[in-house]
Structure 1
Amino acid sequence: MIQARIPESEGTEAAARDITHFVKTRYTAKAYDPTKKISPRNIEKIRELLRFSPSSTNAQPWHFILASSDEAKEKIARSTDRLYPFNSQAIRDASHVVVFCSRLEIGQDFLLRVLEQEDADGRFAGGPEYKERMHAARNMFIDMHKHDLKDVQHWMDKQVYLNLGAFLLGVSTLGIDATPMEGIEIKVLDEEFGLRERGYTSLVVVTLGYRDQENDFNAQLPKSRLPYSEVLTEV
């Protein structure tokens, strides 16, 4: 089944009409047309999708690499060539590739930068006590994951995956195909971009562009999901 697509120029208006259209028609592209590139206008929207995603307590414990050059995409493909070669061609053929990264730690210097950004953006119009409460609340949740649950790295990773979910739906409204890939050698990718020295580690790669209709077998397949009776309880 060939799934209907909305031209990228019409994506935003169409999303406003019915977001469920994109939930039901987006899919994981398996082959890309290397001659088709994402427009600069939509690259700016992609950047905004990454930046404005929600996260728990607005902690934003992430970093992204947006690769467009052949050289940068080649560095990413080195993390798939050995163990996951089935992902390599899509990385090389895609218009752009995004590497989703998580912080390795979340210290007070970073939390204060988040707090000051919120203040500069007018989040504490009610007075300085609101700023103090926000800082205390954010620290409470992070300390819980650091000291009680002892899963702060996993918690930060989950925030990145919140971003990933919103991102995949968001780019589909722009008429852009995407492929999320966990089939990467994280150590290789981290070394290629010096991520750990900068305080990050890679988690997942997303290729972006436009499908090669003739060679993308997944474009011809119907979407399959479990029935409501199994996945949804209404009370």
Structure 2
Amino acid sequence: MDFLQLAKTRYTTKLYDPTKKVSEENIQKLKEILRLSPSSINSQPWNFIFISDPTLKDQLAGASEFNSQKIKDCSHIIVFSACDNIKKFEEGMPNYLPEGSMEYYNQVIKPQSEFEIKSWFQKQVYLSLGFFLSACADLGIDSTPMEGIEAKKYNEILNLKDYTTLFAVTIGYRNPEDQNQPTVNPKSRLAVDKIIQSK
């Protein structure tokens, strides 16, 4: 299937089949794909946690507002977090960033406020989200990106240090009764000429 067709058929899954699990082979592929995600200057200010343990999923479901049932029924939930410790990030840069990248960071990013630097970190994590959702579609895995979670409670449940939760993604396989799938509820998008210009 080509990528345009994947874009037409991929959708945000609302109901999962709890009896179907993503294979360990595909989980390993998704982990490697996340590792290879793009980020500005190869900064990689992120952390990803794959969770399949039912007890832990139930705890996270309790801090997930309207997304609770998706988390209980999905195969895995992946928590995407951004670096929340600027000093630690800067101390680690020499271990993997070339001189030119560190120069860019020190001249362009570092002079900004703490809020702006952490916002820059978070933007990189959102780049990985697009990469990840596309990978799931290519592997025939259904997914649901979720900002509707209580990030602080996620941090506590997962005992996160130096990172903070931004959002989560559930993955698995759709319940045939899911009314959000495009064959039942066609995608609604703005026309190309409304959002794209050629000059």
User: Is it true that 1:50 corresponds to 2:29 in the alignment?
Assistant: no
1:28 aligned partner: 12
Counterpart among 176, 180, 187 of residue 218 in structure 1: 180
Which letter maps to 2:73? D
TM-score (norm 2): 0.92
1:191 aligned partner: 156
Deviations 1:28-83 (A, max 9, x none): 00000011010111001110121111111111111111001102211211212xxx
1:39 aligned partner: 23
1:10 aligned partner: none
CA drift of 1:225 comes to 0.8
Give, in whole Å, the separation in 1 of the partners of 2:111 and 2:195: 30
User: Is it true that 1:88 corresponds to 2:68 in the alignment?
Assistant: yes
Give, in whole Å, the separation in 2 of the partners of 1:169 and 1:132: 32
2:146 aligned partner: 181
1:105 aligned partner: 85
1:125 aligned partner: none
Give, in whole Å, the separation in 2 of the partners of 1:51 and 1:224: 32
Q: Answer yes or no: is the 8 Å Cα contact 1:99–1:202 preserved in 2.
A: yes
CA RMSD of aligned residues (A): 1.6
Which letter maps to 1:206? V
Q: Answer yes or no: is the 8 Å Cα contact 1:61–1:160 preserved in 2.
A: yes
For the pair shown, which has the larger CA radius of gyration, 1 or 2? Answer: 1
Distance 1:153-1:134 versus aligned 2 partners, 3 A rule? closer
Which letter maps to 1:116? N
Counterpart among 101, 107, 110 of residue 134 in structure 1: 101
Deviations 1:145-166 (A, max 9, x none): 337xx51121111111111111
Determine what percentage of the aligned residue pairs are the same residue.
45
2:136 aligned partner: 171
2:165 aligned partner: 202
Q: Which runs of 5+ in 2 are unaligned?
A: none
Q: Answer yes or no: is the 8 Å Cα contact 2:83–2:164 preserved in 1.
A: yes
Deviations 1:172-192 (A, max 9, x none): 100000001111111111111
TM-score (norm 1): 0.79
Q: How many residues align?
A: 197
